[in-house]
A and B are shown apart, each in its own frame.
Chain A
């Protein structure tokens, strides 16, 4: 009897933990729609990406500007279909690793990020005593500090590489 009394709270806590875990797991399947923006104005969801209502409205406004007659239901569906196709192509390019393989995209991404760092520096958001170049160096050092960089090969046939990165 005494042992039963001792065990029952343990069982209860384990059961509660189990129920909690089940709720946690089930929420993983139920929550994504909300987390991904369905309640924040999404008109469509394509895999993990959403097309927001304001994006859709903008696309319709552009379409309206080009069309002479009134907008029809078919036009609304066409605009949405085009936005979905655009998203599918963007996702396909990302799956193909285009930002690394395609030099045009690679340069554009790097340039965009560098510009934002420089703008930040010019706006005085960073350390005011640092120049834009120093700010970039500082930024890169921060990225390096939090990164996992591993050297797999020290020396190759015709390429000499040092053993340490930093």
Chain B
């Protein structure tokens, strides 16, 4: 009986000691590094190795313009610098500088993205792949429709009507406007303009009217606010499908761009899948309610 009791006490002590040890290990900040350092490790700093190749790289950076080897004293000094750097890096990590400094966070994000899309930069693309991509995404490789026009503004709608009648009698638009002495030509480039550029110059309403006109056609007077406008279309070039050969560079660039985007999306999906992510849904709900109130 006494032997059994002694045995169970011993087992209990061992179990408690193990639990205590686990608690200490879990609670401490100690990083355990097994001694699987790279074979060319020169020094370890709190378990982190500084290798001979790291020292050589540092040497190359310092002596980038010199072919002479570094003397032993300088090399020793450089090693000390690498040890100091490592201590500072570890200290920065302890102080959470790596995760809280916005500039460093940006660089870390950039570095991750670069390593994810690295393959997309160098991946060889065959002609067949490019042609298949072109066929599947033909609409991307179209030259948008372009238009060349003149637009005049009038402070008096009646003068706009008169000017329109003059233009209809085959008087050049510019002369007809000058004849009214009130109308003014709006300053827009005289080259062919694609739709999105036209919108930027005229706004969406006038651009829509301009796009609905045919070549050599003049619009009816359009009154917007205090002014009335006349639009005269000089040239209209329809949307054009570019051939594969004409758009080869564009196809290649688009192919790489989509490849990069896919690589990033896949990597983020993978990271999400393997991360422990918890969201405070009740807060989001409150925020959504608050945001709606603010918008009202």
Residues of chain B within 8 A of A160, CB atoms compared: 72, 75-76
Q: Does A131 contact B (CB under 8 A)?
A: no
Residues of chain A within 8 A of B107, CB atoms compared: 102, 104-105, 108
Minimal beta-carbon separation of B39 from chain A (angstroms): 10
Residues of chain A within 8 A of B13, CB atoms compared: 14
Q: Does B112 contact A (CB under 8 A)?
A: yes
Residues of chain B within 8 A of A151, CB atoms compared: 42-43
Q: Does A90 contact B (CB under 8 A)?
A: yes
Contact B89 A159 (CB under 8 A): no
Residue from A17, A148, A161 having most chain B Cβ neighbours under 10 A = A161
Q: Does A46 contact B (CB under 8 A)?
A: yes
Please, how many residues of chain B have a CB less than 8 angstroms from a CB on the other chain? 73
Minimal beta-carbon separation of A145 from chain B (angstroms): 10
Question: Which B residues form the contact surface with A (CB < 8 A)?
Answer: 5, 9, 12-13, 15-16, 19-20, 22-23, 26, 37, 40-47, 49, 52, 55-56, 61, 69, 72, 75-76, 79-80, 83-93, 95, 97-99, 101, 103-105, 107-109, 111-113, 115, 267-268, 271-272, 275-280, 283-284, 287-288, 291, 295
Bound together, the chains give a CA A112 to CA B12 distance in angstroms of 51
Question: Which A residues form the contact surface with B (CB < 8 A)?
Answer: 7, 10, 14, 17-18, 21, 24-25, 28, 33, 38, 42-47, 49, 53, 56, 60, 70-71, 73, 76-77, 80, 84-86, 88-94, 96, 98-100, 102-106, 108-110, 112-114, 140, 143-144, 147-153, 156, 158-162, 165
22 A-B pairs within 8 Å (CB atoms) are namely A25-B23, A42-B280, A43-B280, A43-B284, A46-B277, A49-B99, A89-B108, A89-B271, A90-B99, A90-B109, A100-B89, A102-B107, A103-B61, A109-B104, A110-B85, A110-B92, A143-B91, A144-B87, A149-B46, A161-B43, A161-B79, A165-B83
